[in-house]
Structure 1
Amino acid sequence: MSTTGLDRRTRRRQETIEEILEVAIALMETEGVAALSLSAVARRLGMQPPSLYQYFPSKMAIYDALFQRGNEQLRDAYRSAYEAADTDDPLELGLIAATAFCRWCLEHQVYSQLLFWRTIPGFEPSPEAFAPAAESMQELRDHLQLMVDAGHLRPEVAGEEGVALYTSLIAGLLSQQIANEPDASFEEGRFIRLLPVVLEMFYQRYAPTRG
């Protein structure tokens, strides 16, 4: 988050919030997503635990902020790839956006666990934190509708079943890759490199009926 234009006190508060979130992510990488400790965060920052409550009233509040932050970063990553593409073909754009989405998830596996797997008992994101995820889902529906309008796919692909199947396929690839080869690159991962094949299977499922 940019702090440009903020007064000094507000800017410093926002910078401290960002520091807290960075430390939380680092601890989650080493200790596990569900093992986050406010006292450990405070120690890493050199502050007393009560001081941390000035910024986040609970551990769930930190998870909530990270959920929003992760979804914003993921949304921006696939949007950037989509906008930079030098093609207007909806199928090619779909692969470009899905590739950027999966790359980000593999490069930010702690965020991926928080965003897509229920690794924290009792955690539910707030409406504000969930808003970027809702944006991403709507943009997926819009892109699938674009492929329908271009004549590539049947209308039901942009409905509930099509969206559910699409997200299940992508999540399945990511889950298999992270569970079995967490350190492999996108190009080398034996599961995630099947992304073009999986998308082709998905498109075949909703291909228009000829004749």
Structure 2
Amino acid sequence: MSTAGIDRRTRRRQETIEEILDVAVELMEAEGVAALSLSAVARRLGMQPPSLYQYFPSKMAIYDALFQRGSELQRDAYRTALDSSPSQDPLEQLLVAATAFCRWCLEHQVLTQLMFWRTVPGFEPTPAAYAPALESLDDLRNHLQTMSDAGYLHPDAASDEGLALYTSMTAGLLSQQIANEPDASFEDGRFIRLLPVVLEMFYQRYAPTRGKK
């Protein structure tokens, strides 16, 4: 078989995988994240369930692929916003990046629930699927460390405690927004628009003078 034939087969397989994942998201939006059914996915695609197993051996495998896809997209949205920020001020840059992160989460609520809430009993992402999420945490830690090095924040801001507090505060806003006003925009949502206030609270907690008398 020619290389061109192999490439076409590989490309077609990848296209089918992406189509399966797209349909899975549509069904999860309609029925709930934990209610995904392989049979329903197969029916929507016009294929028999055994054919679907050639691409994903189980429902958990689809969740795993979606977790990785979402983590990569969320990571890239954060990085793009940070790289394209018109300001060189680290405080403003963090707000820009945090805003991009929250916007992405509100625009992809099914993936957000899968990634940040334990909505599927028994599901744990594989190390490969979880790797982009760890990269996102490293991005955040590095930015907080940069802010600390520049004198904007206390060094503890980039500690494990600091990351836990930061992610808890932002995740709390997202959780409240999605639970109470899932259809509201970022600008209109009464919870998510408190993001600058939450960041200010974080800055106050880790002010450069923390612990000094």
CA distance in 1, matches of 2:160, 2:69: 26
Task: Within 5 Å, give how 1:126-205 maps onto structure 2.
Answer: 126-205=126-205
CA distance in 2, matches of 1:109, 1:102: 10
Q: CA deviation at 1:82?
A: 1.0
In structure 1, the residue corresponding to 2:86 is in which secondary structure?
coil
Task: Within 5 Å, give how 1:55-70 maps onto structure 2.
Answer: 55-70=55-70
CA distance in 1, matches of 2:49, 2:206: 54
In structure 2, the residue corresponding to 1:189 is in which secondary structure?
coil
Structure 2: gaps spanning 5 or more residues: 1-5
In structure 1, the residue corresponding to 2:143 is in which secondary structure?
helix
Q: CA deviation at 1:81?
A: 1.0
CA distance in 2, matches of 1:178, 1:29: 13
Question: 2:37 is matched with which residue?
Answer: 37
TM-score using structure 1 length: 0.96
Question: 1:72 is matched with which residue?
Answer: 72
CA distance in 1, matches of 2:154, 2:33: 40
Cα deviations by residue, 1:115-155 (Å, 9 ceiling, x for unpaired)? 00000000000000000000000111000000001101111
Q: CA deviation at 1:22?
A: 0.2
* 1:206 paired to 2:213: no
CA distance in 1, matches of 2:160, 2:81: 25
Question: 2:17 is matched with which residue?
Answer: 17
CA distance in 2, matches of 1:110, 1:7: 32
Q: CA deviation at 1:79?
A: 1.0
Task: Within 5 Å, give how 1:93-108 maps onto structure 2.
Answer: 93-108=93-108
Q: CA deviation at 1:86?
A: 1.2
CA distance in 2, matches of 1:174, 1:33: 17
Q: CA deviation at 1:173?
A: 0.2
CA distance in 1, matches of 2:8, 2:76: 28
In structure 2, the residue corresponding to 1:114 is in which secondary structure?
helix
Structure 1: gaps spanning 5 or more residues: 1-5
Matched letter for residue 86 of structure 1: P
Cα deviations by residue, 1:163-204 (Å, 9 ceiling, x for unpaired)? 000000000000000001101000000000000010001001
Instruction: Give the percent of matched residue pairs that are identical in Structure 1 and Structure 2.
Output: 78
TM-score using structure 2 length: 0.95
Matched letter for residue 47 of structure 1: M
Matched letter for residue 155 of structure 1: P
In structure 1, the residue corresponding to 2:87 is in which secondary structure?
coil
Matched letter for residue 83 of structure 1: D
Q: CA deviation at 1:11?
A: 0.2
